[in-house]
Amino acid sequence: MSPMEIIAVIFNIVGVWLTAQRIRWCWPVSVVAVLLYAWIFFEVKLYSDMLLQLIFAVLQGYGWWRWSSGRIDAGKVHVERLRPQEAWASLALGLVAAVTLGALMHRFTDAALPWLDSLLTAFSLVASFWAARKYVASWWLWIVLDTAYVGMFLYKDLLLTAALYAGFIVLAIYGLRAWQRDLLRQEAG
């Protein structure tokens, strides 16, 4: 456990908590976290996750823009339902990306876990896109992904990061419940 990992964990916790609270400042806070983790993942040869963190840095800007231009009540964005056809299309695209990235990492790098890392990376992009679009379903996907990430980080001996992702599961459950409750209020009002 390095000082950089400790700082990255702190920024990640704050960023996810702000996301669960639907406070748009989650996006710039998360930029710091993802850039720190890009370096950490490079050091442990989780190259797909390193690339994911760099893509996340760009997606943070998209999320910031989407949440800044959306409807807001008391400083919080309105959440939405994910349409089934968009869900299936996103998941299919995620699978294609996972297989493509996995093949590239397996063939051209010394990645530690090319297939699992690529699968989690691709579907993390789907979950991030859904979160930026304010879809409640993003939390369900994060719960599944974070559970798998815990196992991968334990295997790579990133114990603090594994603990962080276990905490993300708890925060995702909290975010899911909060967003579901708020969606019901929005639809009733």
For the chain, which residues make up each domain, given as ranges?
3-188
- Average confidence (pLDDT) over 91-98: 98
CA 37 centroid distance within chain? 12
Q: Is residue 27 within 8 Å of 65, Cβ to Cβ? A: no
Cβ neighbours of residue 157 closer than 8 Å, sequence gap 6 or more: none
pLDDT at 74 over 70: no
How is residue 71 annotated by DSSP? -
Handedness of CA 18, 1, 4, 36 (dihedral sign): negative
> In what helix (H) or strand (E) does residue 172 lie, and over which residues does it extend?
helix 159-188
pLDDT at 71 over 70: no
Q: What is the pLDDT of residues 7-53, one digit of tens each?
A: 998 998 899 888 878 788 888 899 999 999 999 999 999 898 999 89
Q: Between 141 and 129, name the one with better pLDDT.
A: 141
- Average confidence (pLDDT) over 132-144: 93
pLDDT at 126 over 70: yes
Cα angle, residue 114 at apex, residues 11 and 54 outer, rounded to 5°: 35
Token output for 89: 């299309």
- Average confidence (pLDDT) over 53-62: 87
Cα of first residue to Cα of last residue in the chain, in angstroms, is 48
- Average confidence (pLDDT) over 81-94: 97
- Average confidence (pLDDT) over 92-102: 97
pLDDT at 157 over 70: yes
Q: Please, where are the H alpha helices in 22-46?
A: 26-43
Q: Is residue 136 within 8 Å of 97, Cβ to Cβ? A: no
32 vs 15: CA distance, rounded Å: 9
Closest CA to 144 of 117, 173, 114: 173
pLDDT at 1 over 90: no
Token output for 165: 């992702």
Q: What is the pLDDT of residues 168-184, one digit of tens each?
A: 899 899 989 999 998 89
pLDDT at 77 over 80: no
Mean pLDDT over the full length of the chain = 90
Residue for token pair 């406070």: 23
